Amino acid sequence: MVKRILFHLLLWSLYLLIEFVVNLPHYHDSRELFVMNLFFLPVIALPFYFISYLLVPRLLWKGKKRAFWMACIVVLLVVLVLRIQWSQWYWWFESGEMLHLPASKTTKNLFRDYAVIALGVCLKIIWDWDKKDRLATRLHLEKRDAELQFLQAQIHPHFLFNTLNNLYGLALKNSPQTPESILKLSGLLDFILYECNAAYIPVQKEIDLIAHYIELERLRFGKQLALNFEHEIGQDEAMIAPLLLLPFVENAFKHGASRTSGQKVYVSISLTVRSNLLAFQVENSKGKKPESENGNRGIGLRNVEKRLELLYPGRHKLQKTEAEGKYSIALELQLS
C-alpha cells in the first residue's frame, strides 16, 4: 500500500514538473506558475481516480460497457463545469476578483485536461488487463502442470499392471523365461523411476526405453513374434517429454499382437528425427477383439493423447488407421 502511494505521488510530481517546464517560458513569475499547476491538479486527479478505481472495476470489468461509457460522459461534463468554476476560484484567490476566461482559453485547457485524464485511465486499464492476463496465464500453467503430473502418475502403475499380467501368463506356463523377464522388468522400472523424472529427456533415452520393453516382449512371444524396430536421429540434442512414445508400443503388444494367439504376429516400429520433426509409426497385426473390450480403449492411449494436447498444442499430428488384420498409429511431432 505504501509503495503504491509513493508510486502515485511520484507520477503526479512528474506531471507537475512537465507542466511547469513546458509553460515556464510563458510566465514571468515561476512561483505563480507552480501554485497554479498545483491548484488545478485536483481537477485532473479526482476524475482520474473516480474513473480508474470506481467505474473501471465496477462497470467495465463486469461487462457493463454501456453504463461505463455513459458514466464517463457524465464525469467529463462535471470536469467541464468544475474547470470553469475552478478557474474563477483561482483568480479570486489571487486577485480578489472573478475573472472570466475567453472560450478559446477554456476549451484549450479542457482538451488538455481530458487528454491527461484519458491517458491515465488508459494506462490503468492496460495495467489491470495485463495483471488479469498474467494471472490467467499462471492459473492455466498451474492447471496444466497438475494435469501432467496426474497423467504422469498414471503411467507407472498402468505399465506395471500390464507387464505383471504378462509375467503372470509366463508363470502359469512354467516358462523358463520368467526369471529373465522379472530381471528385465526390474531394469525397466529402474529406468523409468530414475531416468524419466525430468520434463524433457533426449530422444535417444526414449529409444533405449522402447528397446528394453521390446526385449521383455520378445521373451514372452519368442519365435511367434516378427518384429522390426528402425530408428534414426539426425540431431543428438533432440529432446522429448519422457514416456510419450512407449504407450504406443505397449498398445501394439497388448491390444494387437497378444490377440493373435497361436498365429505368427508382427510389430513394426519406425522412428526418425530430422530438423526438429519427429516421425513415429507403429504397425501391428490385429486379432479379434474380445467382446468384453468392445468400445473400450485402454487408459494408455487416452493418457498419451491428453499429454500430447497439453505438451505440444498445435505441434503434433496423430493418425490412427485400422484395417483387416492390421492396426497402425502415425505421429508427427514438432519438438521445438
Least confidently predicted of 83-87, 154-158, 303-307, 320-324: 154-158
pLDDT in tens, 181-207: 676 667 666 666 666 667 788 898 889
Residue 232 exposed, middle or buried by CB count within 10 Å (0-12, 13-18, 19+)? exposed
Beta strands in 286-336 (DSSP E): 316-323, 326-334
Residue linked to cell 497385426: 285
With a cut of 70, say whether residue 274 has pLDDT above it.
yes
With a cut of 60, say whether residue 127 has pLDDT above it.
yes
With a cut of 50, say whether residue 53 has pLDDT above it.
yes
- Average of per-residue pLDDT across 150-167: 60
* pTM given for the model: 0.54
pLDDT in tens, 129-146: 888 888 777 766 666 665
Nearest to 153 by CA among 299, 313, 311, 312: 299
pLDDT classification of 105: cutoffs 50, 70, 90: low
Residue linked to cell 516421425: 279
With a cut of 90, say whether residue 268 has pLDDT above it.
yes
Range with the largest mean pLDDT of 61-65, 113-117, 218-222:
61-65
pLDDT in tens, 278-298: 999 999 887 666 544 444 445
CA–chain centroid gap for 208, Å, is 30
Give the mean pLDDT of the chain: 77
Annotate 199-258 with DSSP letters as a single string: S-EEHHHHHHHHHHHHHHHHHHHGGGEEEEEEEEES-TT-EE-TTSSHHHHHHHHHTTGG
- Average of per-residue pLDDT across 35-42: 77
Annotate 159-179 with DSSP letters as a single string: HHHHHHHHHHHHHHTT-TTHH
- Average of per-residue pLDDT across 322-330: 86
- Asked whether 238 and 335 are in contact (CB, 8 A), the reply is yes
